[in-house]
């Protein structure tokens, strides 16, 4: 039980800071009907949990071993993330904040995958944190620990969606537009950081 609670605590500390996943879930919860908001949260949880398992069992080590793979993920990831941010900046929000927004499920799944799996920093940070625990904990406790981490993901994203669904009626169209502008700017900033990381890695190679 102690290992599970430790995983739960570490999982909340890892997933709670505002990032691409949280911005996506927040924007969805504020602009779409309840059923779609919760299904979106579940999709994000799925990708977050699979990433946690991958980090726990060492996919980040593969990226560190193969430099070309890390560079490719940085370049492609930065472009896609910036494109998502531009889309948020251009989105003026629904004409009627009470209306349902019919976002294609293919786009929801793709975006949830991108904000989770195309964030190299999340993979590297997750590997450093979760991989360290995997190496330090006995086999039995490791299983309980990673279950705690995945439980944190479920609790966090469903909790955020629930709170915003309950308070969503207080947000006007202008407020949603402001949130889109803030979220879009932050997402573009994330994408810019990824692109800068790629340039920092590739420029010395070109100079050589």
CB of 45 closer than 8 Å to CB of 154: yes
Strongest mean pLDDT among 59-68, 99-108, 193-202: 193-202
Q: Which of 112, 131, 109 is nearest to 53 (CA)?
A: 131
| Least confident window among 21-25, 151-155, 184-188 | 184-188
The 10 Å CB-count burial string (b at 16+, else e) for 151-175 is bbbbebbbebbeebbeebeebeeee
pLDDT tens digits for 123-178?
776 777 777 677 667 767 888 988 999 999 999 999 999 988 887 666 666 766 77
Crossing angle between the packed helical segments 105-117 and 67-90, to the nearest 10 degrees:
130
CB of 123 closer than 8 Å to CB of 61: no
- The whole-number pLDDT of residue 95 equals 46
CB of 165 closer than 8 Å to CB of 73: no
Every domain of the chain and the residues it spans: 2-12+19-201
């Amino acid at each position: 039980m102690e290992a599970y609670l430790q995983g739960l605590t570490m999982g909340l500390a890892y997933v709670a800071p505002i990032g691409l996943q949280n911005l996506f879930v927040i924007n969805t919860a504020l602009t779409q009907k309840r059923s779609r908001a919760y299904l979106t949260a579940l999709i994000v949880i799925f990708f977050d949990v699979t990433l946690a398992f991958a980090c726990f069992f060492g996919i980040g080590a593969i990226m560190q071993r193969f430099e070309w793979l890390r560079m490719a993920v940085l370049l492609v990831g930065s472009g896609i993330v910036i494109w998502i941010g531009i889309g948020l900046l251009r989105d003026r929000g629904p004409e009627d904040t009470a209306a349902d927004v019919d976002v294609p499920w293919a786009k929801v799944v793709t975006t949830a995958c991108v904000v989770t799996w195309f964030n190299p920093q999340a993979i590297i940070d997750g590997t450093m944190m979760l991989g360290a625990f995997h190496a330090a904990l006995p086999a039995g406790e490791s299983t309980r620990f990673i279950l705690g981490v995945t439980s944190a993901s479920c609790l966090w994203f469903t909790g955020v969606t629930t709170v915003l669904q309950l308070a969503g009626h207080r947000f006007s169209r202008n407020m949603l537009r402001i949130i889109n502008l803030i979220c879009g700017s932050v997402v573009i900033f994330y994408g810019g950081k990824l692109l800068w990381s790629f340039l920092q890695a590739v420029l010395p190679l070109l100079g050589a």
